[in-house]
């Protein structure tokens, strides 16, 4: 569009006014932006020092000389640090005594306050407070590793974990535990109050609340489960399951697996309990092996093997026995499931008297041949023996009954003893008869000899009484 000169002049003036107003507006905006930006970080950023060090707070990095890459935030944080490098301290007096230690991290009030070592990490008020030359420790939680001075490679997670540790090393505590450990090493505790009383014991592993709680000096124990090995002071025990070996005090070399397995054991050693409540009644006995749920055993058990609970297990299969040739005595199974060899010593017997006519019952027995039913013997091998029900009618003492009172089998060992008695009785009768016959023969021989002598005598007399023969001359 073409404007008249007067109009173009007015338009030009108006445009300059607009440009001036726009410029003023831009300057105002920039000013406001600068003011706003300045007020957002008021006071201005500070704390940056040479060597990529950062300090914020009164006396933070107060003594720094040549140390680099340190970060200190809080009153007296890294106060004494001179040549230490790559340390991070956040909190009042965190790493305040550190001079030349490197690669430490402290977060919390007075964490790693006395530290002189390297590669330590402390998070939580007073964590690793007393550490001096200890290194490679990790403490997370209030007072974790509080008293550690020279211990190394410890890990504590949870309030008061390993709080009493001084020079112990290679310990791991997770969950507020091992509070009293002083110099014990290579221990692992996971769970509230696990290994809480341990002082100098080494090589223990406790997993679960109160596991190995009262252990102080015992070593090389392993407990997994709440209250497992709770009262233990012995060594070389292994417990898996809540309350397993709970009552063990001085016993050693015990192994328990299952809820409350061997939990009544106090001083017994070298016991094995596998199964819930296995060996729960064993107290002071040693060298027991108890396998099976609720196979509780007896308080007096020692050097005993128990497998399975009477009335629960109904059959037993053990490989490697059938067809194997060995020497030894016949194994006897008692009605309570106890295995052993029937003793013949008078030390274990009473009411001893001759069998006499009691053995005559075997003369009424009727031996038979038979085959077991297929579920017992698929091969149906021919068998030889007796029928227990028939034997019971003759002598009830010659049979064995099951738990239900029904007849199960014959006491063949007793039958053999009766047969021996009958054999001996018959043998004595034969011997008596032979002696009688020999006596009779001797008597008869004497009689024959006497009769022979008599005959000879008579013959001699007859011979003497005969007239003498006369000689007659022949003409």
pLDDT-derived band at 471, boundaries 50, 70, 90: low
What own/partner pairs with CB < 8 Å and gap ≥ 24 does 240-243 have? 241/276, 242/208
DSSP character string of 299-326: TT--S-EEES-TTT------TT-TT---
For residues 161 and 194, give the distance between their C-alpha atoms in angstroms, rounded to a whole number.
10
Paired tokens of 47:
């704390």
Mean local confidence (pLDDT), 81-106: 97
CA distance 14 to 442: 177
Residues 49-59 have a mean pLDDT of: 95
pLDDT digit string (tens) for 172-200? 999 999 999 999 999 999 999 999 999 99
Average pLDDT, the chain: 90
How is residue 102 written in tokens?
């490197």
| Whole-angstrom distance, CA of residue 224 vs CA of residue 239 | 6
pLDDT digits (tens, 9 = 90+) for 420-456: 999 999 999 999 999 999 999 999 999 999 999 999 8
Alpha-carbon distance of 399 to 410, in angstroms, equals: 4
pLDDT of residue 12: 45
| Residue-level pLDDT at 24 | 55
Q: What is the dihedral of CA 312, 314, 317, 322, to 10 degrees?
A: 140
Looking at the chain, how many residues does it have? Answer: 475
pLDDT of residue 195: 97
Query: In the prediction, which pLDDT does 1 show?
Result: 39
* Residue 9's pLDDT band (cuts 50, 70, 90): very low
In the chain, the domains with their CATH numbers are 355-448 (1.10.10)
Could you give the C-alpha distances from 28 to 20, 24, 31, 33, 36, in angstroms and in order?
A: 12, 6, 5, 9, 12
CB atoms within 10 A of CB 281: 18
Beta bridge partners of 140: 123, 157
Name the least confident of 29-33, 231-235, 242-246, 431-435: 29-33
Q: What is the pLDDT of residues 294-329, one digit of tens each?
A: 999 999 999 999 999 988 988 888 999 888 888 888
């Amino acid at each position: 569009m073409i404007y008249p000169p007067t109009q173009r002049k007015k338009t030009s003036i108006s445009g300059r006014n607009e440009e001036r107003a726009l410029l003023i507006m831009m300057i105002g905006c920039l000013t406001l932006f600068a003011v706003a930006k300045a007020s957002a970080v008021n006071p201005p950023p500070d704390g940056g020092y040479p060597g990529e060090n950062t300090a914020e707070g009164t006396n933070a990095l107060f003594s720094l000389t040549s140390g680099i890459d340190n970060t200190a935030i809080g009153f007296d944080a890294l106060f004494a640090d001179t040549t230490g490098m790559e340390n991070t301290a956040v909190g009042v007096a965190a790493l305040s005594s550190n001079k030349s230690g490197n690669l430490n991290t402290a977060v919390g009030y007075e964490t790693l306050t006395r530290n002189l070592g390297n590669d330590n990490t402390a998070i939580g008020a007073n964590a690793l407070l007393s550490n001096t030359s200890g290194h490679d420790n990790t403490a997370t939680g209030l007072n974790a590793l509080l008293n550690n001075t020279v211990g190394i490679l410890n890990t504590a997670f949870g309030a008061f974990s390993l709080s009493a540790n001084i020079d112990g090393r290679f310990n791991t505590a997770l969950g507020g535990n091992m509070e009293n450990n002083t110099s014990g090493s290579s221990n692992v505790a996971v769970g509230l109050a696990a290994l809480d009383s341990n002082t100098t014991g080494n090589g223990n592993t406790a997993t679960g609340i109160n596991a190995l709680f009262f252990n102080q000096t015992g070593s090389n124990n392993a407990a997994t489960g709440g209250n497992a090995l709770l009262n233990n002071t012995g060594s070389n025990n292994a417990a898996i399951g809540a309350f397993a070996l709970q009552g063990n005090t001085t016993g050693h070399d015990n192994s328990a697996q299952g809820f409350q397995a061997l939990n009544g054991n106090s001083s017994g050693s070298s016991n094995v309990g596998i199964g819930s409540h296995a060996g729960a009644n064993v107290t002071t006995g040693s060298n027991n092996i108890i396998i099976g749920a609720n196979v509780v055993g007896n308080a007096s058990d020692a050097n005993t093997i128990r497998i399975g609970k009477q009335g629960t297990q109904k059959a037993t299969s053990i490989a490697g026995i059938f067809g194997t040739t060995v020497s030894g005595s016949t194994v006897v199974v008692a009605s309570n499931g106890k295995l052993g060899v029937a003793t013949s010593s008078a030390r274990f017997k009473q009411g001893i008297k001759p069998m006499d006519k009691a053995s005559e019952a075997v003369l009424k027995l009727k031996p038979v041949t038979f085959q077991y039913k297929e579920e017992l013997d698929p091969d149906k091998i021919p068998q030889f023996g007796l029928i227990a029900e028939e034997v019971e009618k003759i002598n009830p003492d010659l049979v064995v009954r099951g738990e239900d009172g029904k007849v199960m089998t014959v006491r063949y060992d007793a039958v053999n003893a009766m047969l021996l008695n009958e054999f001996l009785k018959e043998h004595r009768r034969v011997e008596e008869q032979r002696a009688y016959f020999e006596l009779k023969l001797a008597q008869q021989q004497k009689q024959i000899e006497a009769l022979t002598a008599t005959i000879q005598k008579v013959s001699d007399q007859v011979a003497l009484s005969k007239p003498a023969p006369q000689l007659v001359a022949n003409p």
